[in-house]
Amino acid sequence: MHLVLPGKTKLVLHLKDSKKIRKKKRWSQVMYMYYLLDYRSKENSRYTTENTFIMALDGDVDFQPEAVPHLLQRMRKYPDVGAACGRIHPAEKNSSPIVWYQKFEYAVSHWLQKSTEHVIGCVLCSPGCFSLFRGSALKLILEDYSKQPKEALDVIQYDQGEDRWLCTLLLKAGKRIEYCAESDAKTFVPETFEEFFKQRRRWIPSTLANIFYLIMHMRAVCKKNSKITRLYIIYQFLYCMSSLLTPGTIIMMMYGALVLVLGHNGEGITGFVLLFVILLPVTVFICISLFKKDIQMLCAQIVSFILFVLMVLVIAGVIRSAVEETLCSTSIIFVCFIAGIFVLATILHPKECHCVKHSLLYFLAIPCTSIVLFLYSIANMDDVNWGTREKEKSR
């Protein structure tokens, strides 16, 4: 279907035939890449992939026109850059605590993680909602990107986070991926607890799988890509290991803080009881996730609420202990250290300091996202449904 927009801009709509092109988002991208980088180049001899750039956008993304030239400038200035991504902001459609949490989460992930990756190596993921790709770089990895999954791990790596897999292939091919903080875009994020969990159910295993892939192919990647060093790979390995250890770390942090507050000098609740209170809901959720999946989302909400209340007690207790007694306890030092990092990052980004108002919710939700969400993602790796923005089929 061909349309002519105001200003004589041509818009071509392609309707995918599921009998010819496989379902899933990755195969739609493969279809367009082959059309633009293979078919069109053969059709027109003046057409070259070297001066062709493909903009990846979600249907609901919102950005100003000047955001695109900022990305394009990076591509033109550095020939080895295969992709560039901007600063993504959650857009508010219907404000909710889930959206508030993501506002601060997106902020700190860009302030800290993406900026760090950009400086010491390469950005690992240029998100599909707003990124610019070089045509010649995509053509290098198009054959690998269009492979069909053969193993269970392949499904997680290829289809559950297709933008992450595309960027992994670009890095392996020797191309650099950059982060451009001055290029802003807004995208709609999950607004309900269930939709948020289903989205992260795809993201978490896909992220770990692709980092593991880079670690396993460390020699080939470092040899091909001059921007990725062994030290950078070690950094990603430590990040991967910390993600696996985070649930246990958060449980022990909560346990230590509650013992400090409720079991002081042996006059309060014993440490064993406090550990039981923390571990019981988590253990129940693990059992339900494994054997009773039809009610695991309800259970996830209940367990998240329990951990949220316990975290409120932890924060209140840490503040009281810091005021009344000493600043030398492990829990107080841990909380102050994390809070200090976020405060420093906020000071360095004054234009986005409004995000800090959601930081308390972010802190209180750490047990939910670090324990319940992580366990939910691991328990549902066999679920290959997209999970978000899907309309329920009529019966």
Query: Which residue has 């279907």 as its token pair?
Result: 1
Q: Quickly tell me which residue has 């392609």 as its tokens.
A: 14
Task: Measure the CA angle with vertex 120, ends 119 and 121; round to 5°.
Answer: 100
- 173 and 266 fall within a common domain: no
Give the integer Cα–Cα distance in Å for 216 and 157. 14
Q: In terms of domains, do 223 and 266 share one?
A: no
**CA distances (Å), 117 to each of 80, 137, 346, in order?**
16, 20, 18
Specify if 304 maps to a domain. yes
What does pTM read for this prediction? 0.89
How many Å apart are CA 285 and CA 267, to the nearest integer? 31
Residue 229 in tokens: 């060093």
Residue 394's pLDDT is 44
Contact in structure between 206 and 157 (CB atoms under 8 Å): yes
Query: CA 223, 226, 230 angle in degrees (round to 5)?
Result: 65
pLDDT for the residue numbered 196 = 95
3-state secondary structure at position 151:
coil
Distance in angstroms (rounded) separating the CA atoms of residues 395 and 386: 20
Q: Answer yes or no: is 336 within a domain.
A: yes
Question: Are 209 and 61 within one domain?
Answer: yes
Per-residue pLDDT for the chain (395 aa), expressed as one digit of tens each? Answer: 788 888 888 888 777 777 777 778 888 888 888 888 888 777 776 777 778 899 999 888 999 989 999 999 989 888 899 999 999 999 877 678 999 999 999 999 999 999 999 999 999 999 989 999 999 999 999 999 999 988 888 999 998 889 999 999 999 999 999 999 999 999 999 999 999 999 999 999 999 999 999 999 999 999 999 999 999 999 999 988 998 899 998 898 888 778 777 765 445 567 788 888 899 999 999 999 988 888 999 999 999 999 999 999 888 877 777 676 666 666 677 777 878 888 888 888 888 888 888 988 998 999 999 999 999 999 998 887 776 665 554 43
- Whether 72 and 218 map to the same domain: the answer is yes
Residues 159 and 256 both lie in one domain: no
Please give the Cα distance from 373 to 303 (Å, whole number).
11
Report the SS3 class of residue 133.
strand
Question: Residue 3: inside a domain, yes or no?
Answer: no
In a domain, 132, yes or no: yes
Range of the domain at 273: 249-379
Q: Same domain, yes or no, for 218 and 314?
A: no
Pairing of strands 176-188, 81-91: parallel
The CATH number linked to 222 is 3.90.550.10
Domain count, the chain: 2
Statement to judge: residues 165 and 256 lie in one domain = no
User: Tell me, what's the pLDDT at 216?
Assistant: 93
